[in-house]
Chains A and B, each alone.
Chain A
């Protein structure tokens, strides 16, 4: 498999957590390639290491061993500043708890990543409005997140993750806080938009319906891919 068609390449990732005297092996040498535009579901029992793997994949945590490549670039030696800049350009996040900024309007939340990237005002506006339309929230642009339902908030989060057309989207249990109908809509939306923008998505989930929508389903048990 060539590096170009591959968004993420993880090789032999290990991660241990120290809890007092004891050490927990959260990942025991995980290797994984995610193709560009591919949506991968990560399933497994609680405590199996899904979040740990997603954090490493999304560059917000560092492995104890193993190597990571993003878009064909080895990132093992990058410092926190460089990793942050890489996340800014290439990685979108969707959280279980939505994690919107409560004092910012829906519009401002979605626009924020473009502001970080220094996109010019006119283009920013256009991209933001497009993203809001795609998640069907253009009429809610000036509302505050508190005035939205859970499903609507997660749609704002999807718009925020996708507005910059990232190479990679990390979603850790994005539907766990939602009822099943809403969850279904969110899964469809994420799938559709990621495809449209050719973003790779790695989503951790317990939800069977969610994984059935994905291009590939991976099973993680006790820190090892099955």
Chain B
């Protein structure tokens, strides 16, 4: 306690210099916490976005993910209703959504365009996608209407000059390799926020798609969980239950998430390293000046029986106090920014390839705060140790003669 008090008094000896070091540390800490919080928030948003899109765990035929089918559903899943029921019974599973991916031409009679479609069970699928699927007009397709219904992307609707209630024709290759066509009614127009996808998006009722493709198989079963954290556990469980099937998690399928994460990890990693250097530099500078100024005092304390290690310890305490005070201020700063952004409603511009921006928010992560505090205090201690150990081990007479 006494030593801590002496350290504090020594820190305040040149208060302007110490406050500068604290301020630099605070800004560094706040920058790391702010950017880290932003990266975490982005990861979380993308995780949620991807998981809502693909489902947390996706099950397919052993070769279902290879994408080298000769005809649609060649590697489809047979007996999917029984499998779906089995997976749905696992604890932590919210729902299981069967899907068929298919593609072909969509036509309004005058012109046609390529579409990439999914056959889905509307009652399950549209509930799970949540805010991911933004309806511009209309509603999800009904699953048992006499005329098959589809939801199309807003860009595709523009291309086809289609509105809710318009009639279009889907043309696709069947599982037997022949062409088949079906007339559909547009029940809704929606956007997923990625123009490239919205230009080709067709979502149809699963049963109608299976009829079009002449098959009762599905492409994949998307398992949605109550907690994203359970993903690996459930994936493992499913692999054990059905070793003959291929099982992937949303993480495996989230190309965009992986790319963003790799990029951000690198950017913010470099930022972190720069911050570490700045803090280290500020700290060594401040403490180094203090050591030089106090060399004679170090000599005095050594003469009256203070061990070099004890001298160093005092400087380390001082460094930790400066670093500690700096991180506390930095955490407050980052905390204030986090809360401020929560209410400020600032929008980030759309990411590459997207049409909608997203809110600028920072995640508050106690482990991140803890880790940054620890790193800064350890850095401060190291800097103090580095700059004081030479003076502390100087011959006493030499230190005493210092002016």
- Interface range, B side: 20 to 34
Contact of B304 among A55, A81, A88, A103 (CB under 8 A): A88
Q: Which of B296-338 contact A (CB under 8 A)?
A: 296-297, 300-308, 310
Q: Is the interface of A mostly helix, strand, loop or mixed?
A: helix
Q: Contacting chain A: which of B6-14, B51-59, B92-100, B233-241? A: B6-14
Residue of A nearest to B9 (CB): A103
Q: Which of A26-83 contact B (CB under 8 A)?
A: 55, 58, 60-61, 80-81
When A103-B9, A104-B6 are in contact, do A112 and B304 touch as well, CB less than 8 Å? yes
**Separation of A117 and B310 alpha carbons in the complex (Å):** 12
Report the minimum CB–CB distance from B191 to chain A (whole Å).
66
Q: Are A81 and B307 in contact (CB under 8 A)?
A: yes
Q: Are A113 and B10 in contact (CB under 8 A)?
A: no
Which A residues are CB-close (under 8 A) to B13?
102-103
Interface centre among B2, B304, B307 (most CB of A within 10 A): B304
Contact of B297 among A60, A92, A99, A160 (CB under 8 A): A99
Check if B395 is an interface residue, CB within 8 A of chain A. yes
Interface centre among B10, B303, B306, B310 (most CB of A within 10 A): B303
Report the minimum CB–CB distance from A136 to chain B (whole Å).
22
Which B residues are CB-close (under 8 A) to A194?
none
Contact of A55 among B300, B308, B397 (CB under 8 A): B397
When A95-B300, A99-B300, A103-B13 are in contact, do A88 and B397 touch as well, CB less than 8 Å? no
Which B residues are CB-close (under 8 A) to A104?
6, 9
- Interface range, A side: 20 to 34
Check if B396 is an interface residue, CB within 8 A of chain A. yes
Q: Is the interface of B mostly helix, strand, loop or mixed?
A: helix
Q: Are A91 and B305 in contact (CB under 8 A)?
A: yes
**Separation of A95 and B302 alpha carbons in the complex (Å):** 13
Which B residues are CB-close (under 8 A) to A112?
301, 304
Q: Are B397 and A89 in contact (CB under 8 A)?
A: no
Report the minimum CB–CB distance from B394 to chain A (whole Å).
11
**Separation of A22 and B35 alpha carbons in the complex (Å):** 61
Which B residues are CB-close (under 8 A) to A80?
308
Q: List 14 A-B contacts (CB under 8 A).
A: A58-B303, A60-B302, A60-B303, A61-B395, A61-B397, A85-B305, A87-B303, A88-B305, A88-B306, A99-B300, A108-B2, A113-B305, A116-B304, A117-B305
A-B contacts besides A84-B307, A99-B296, 8 pairs, CB < 8 Å: A55-B396, A55-B397, A61-B397, A84-B308, A85-B307, A87-B304, A108-B6, A160-B304
Binding site for B on A (CB under 8 A): 55, 58, 60-61, 80-81, 84-85, 87-89, 91-93, 95, 99, 101-104, 108, 112-113, 115-117, 160-161
Q: Which 8 A-B pairs have the closest CB atoms?
A: A88-B305, A60-B396, A103-B9, A99-B300, A87-B305, A61-B397, A93-B303, A60-B303
